[in-house]
Structure 1
């Protein structure tokens, strides 16, 4: 591969290298450490049947090499690619992980497990680890923003499509690969970049392993490069992109999308630092449902703990949010269906006063919330921006409660202090001693002073 044969791919790799070698601005460092804090605490909190099955699966493969890695949230040792897979599953298990919303992708759950598995093996410093995280995030977010509409139109899940690109970039940088090596790793990772959003409609387990596979793809891509494999130089050429991420209905859009990359890939172009746009969640549900759930929580005191008094509920969402797979699920039977269902999440919140994670794991056992969810209508409203919601609750006496939440830049972009409090409360509620979160928070806060990644991984172990 040369700069001429793989023009866009080469420039992506060069850009990632350039970012990794920069002195990162303070807001970028804060954003990166916030991703570490939130997503490592998610890995510590991970529970449920899917996590158990993934743990058994990885354990069956054994530790096949001397330079083994530690899956996030555990103390076991496994092959780095297996460790990355389990770490990705754990980080994404409760749907509380960080999101780059413009690309609709949970990048942290893909990048961090691959990066930490590679860092544990390569022995890079904490400062280099943060730089590799940012390099991978900026690469995946840039590509994701350009192509997300085509990916989603084809029925693919953005996290699965772009997560592997981020994990491969971060792992390649952490492994010390040169520009050609990084480019090859990115190209090879695209071969693993797949996953359907249909999982949220059917309530299947696919969603729960997609980020694990994306994390694994990053480690595997680096392993392939080290073994001498080369990726397709034309991965991002105009004629290749429709085959990857665009269906017939959008033919021709790929040129416009690809060209969105070009002006940011020039060596002297400014980096937009998309990691600063990371959003976090108050509730264990889809990002789209954070506003409706928050509005439902606000209505609870006005209902006098009597959901039976509710005659009808109308939940208005932005049309693109409304159309996202799973949002209009009526009677979910599984966790994946429940955490995407606007009707069920709103009904559960109004029934129990909060979004009960245990009930989300077994929605078929909550007859009261299921009955109320049948009275919820989900309506597309073009006047609402993305992530906004309007909730109207009509009571039996025909009185209507109504409120609208339009998120600002601060609504889901938490400060370090707010995020720390939320993560600490979650771990405490799950039965973890306060000292455990204190160790994690202090280690993450001082990550750039660490001589190696091992203390960071140890702080996230149970």
Structure 2
């Protein structure tokens, strides 16, 4: 079987057969993109070491049984499922992790924790994690072609639904399951997948990534043990696609290469909901080009697609979790500072008077239902207009945010993000050690990386 068989599969059976027979992936660009995703996700996990959602999941995981796997914020060895859940929750807790547009998921926040936990248990090398990550992302693209954006627009949190299935495929690939068990792993995952966007702005939203990672591990282990499931759970009136608002039962992609290369991942420039990012990019760019300050602004108006508009539900956020899903708050910050950082989403930061004052001048408009009729959430541009007190008017439309393959994060942006995530958590020596391990992950055993996460507990970060 070849990569093209995987990409062009019509059914789950075809995909499973192609994935299980696919030789080790040697595509250099695909492996480099996957390694970058791993590095970005590890930084996000460490950044959330003391987040309340991380702490609650940690306490629960420790009290539900021990194992031999490592996870952030605890030195206690956990079960594989618990480690995946804890790291997955941490990866998504601060909403700084990447987006994956073909499936409208936070793909890496689910895939990386799944593979770290299972890979440590199975004592595999980093090269196997990269290989399995690419396959897990590929089935998300395959399923996204049948379901996006309808599934997401309907209110499903695709990170928790499609993400669960991607995690099961990645885990099956890591375990080298034959095609029958590979298919069963994904089919079992269909029965474990769930999650609504109603949880945006709550602790349970990042928990979705943790639950998806845990379910991916569980589904693959059940399949390995011999659990059987429907061979084509995606198809028909009771199939996953139809039941979850998919637009068609089968889809053939025109891609000729792995999705991690052709579609790419959207790294986040700002630690908040991606639905706001194009408007924030516009504000930052206009501010830089025209040199105005917050005191000069009369009004900020931004028009965004309907699904984005509904995601940004909190015009008057009461806490840092709601602030991550607030256009008014994030836009005011962008206008005042020219950037957003993790410190802007701490409890005491949300009620700062200058920010609240400028929030009253921000208006977000819904572009209407036609803005959701494309194949992805960023097919329709975001249009932002800033009016100054002196009568000046500046406008900018942006289709793809900074961080996508069309406008990658700059080296400076990447360095700023890594420092924002780990700068207050690790010493200089520890940061360099972490960078070295991640950079050379393909040549190391996974337990070298997961061992760092185990040591990086809330009370031991400086001793990594």
TM-score, normalised with respect to structure 2: 0.84
Aligned partner of 1:313 in structure 2 is 300
Q: Structure 1 residue 70 and structure 2 residue 70: aligned?
A: yes
Match of 2:355 in 1: 369
| CA shift for structure 1 position 344 | 1.6
Structure 2 gaps, min length 5: 1-9, 372-376, 457-464
The correspondence of residues 87-166 of structure 1 with structure 2, limited to 5 A, is: 87-166=87-166
The answer on whether the counterparts of 2:300 and 2:386 sit within 8 Å (CA) in structure 1 is yes
Deviations 1:320-343 (A, max 9, x none): 4544x3225311223332212222
Instruction: Determine helix, strand or coil for the equivalent of 1:102.
Output: coil
* Contact preservation (8 Å) 2:43, 2:422: no
Checking the alignment, whether the CA contact within 8 Å between 1:144 and 1:158 is kept in structure 2 is no
Give yes or no for contact 2:270–2:341 (8 Å, CA) kept in 1: no
CA distance in 2, matches of 1:423, 1:310: 28
Per-residue deviation, 1:285: 1.2
Determine the C-alpha separation between the residues in 2 that align with 1:112 and 1:118.
Answer: 10
Q: How does 1:36-435 map to 2 (within 5 A)?
A: 36-46=38-48, 47-63=50-66, 65=67, 68-72=68-72, 74-200=74-200, 203-241=201-239, 245-247=243-245, 254=247, 257-261=248-252, 270-274=256-260, 277-300=264-287, 305-307=293-295, 309-317=296-304, 319-323=305-309, 325-362=310-347, 365-381=351-367, 386=379, 388-407=381-400, 410=405, 412-414=407-409, 421-427=415-421, 429-435=423-429
SS of the equivalent of 2:149 reads: helix
Cα distance in 2 for residues equivalent to 1:81 and 1:93: 18
Instruction: Show CA shifts across 1:113-161 (max 9, x none).
Output: 1111111111222222211111111112221232122312431111111
2:24 to 22, 26, 30: 22
Distance 1:419 1:392, change over 3 A: closer
SS at match of 2:301: strand
Looking at structure 1, the residues matched to 191 and 45 of structure 2 have their Cα atoms a distance apart, in angstroms, of 26
Paired with 1:60 and 1:73, the residues of 2 have a C-alpha distance of 14
User: Aligned pair in 2 of structure 1 residues 188, 405: CA closer, same or farther (>3 Å)?
Assistant: same
Deviations 1:158-204 (A, max 9, x none): 1111111111111122223221111111111111211111223xx32
Work out the number of aligned pairs and report it: 434
Alpha-carbon RMSD across the aligned residues, in angstroms, is: 3.0
- TM-score (normalised: structure 1): 0.84
Following superposition, the deviation at residue 88 of structure 1 comes to 0.3
Aligned-residue offset at 1:242: 6.5
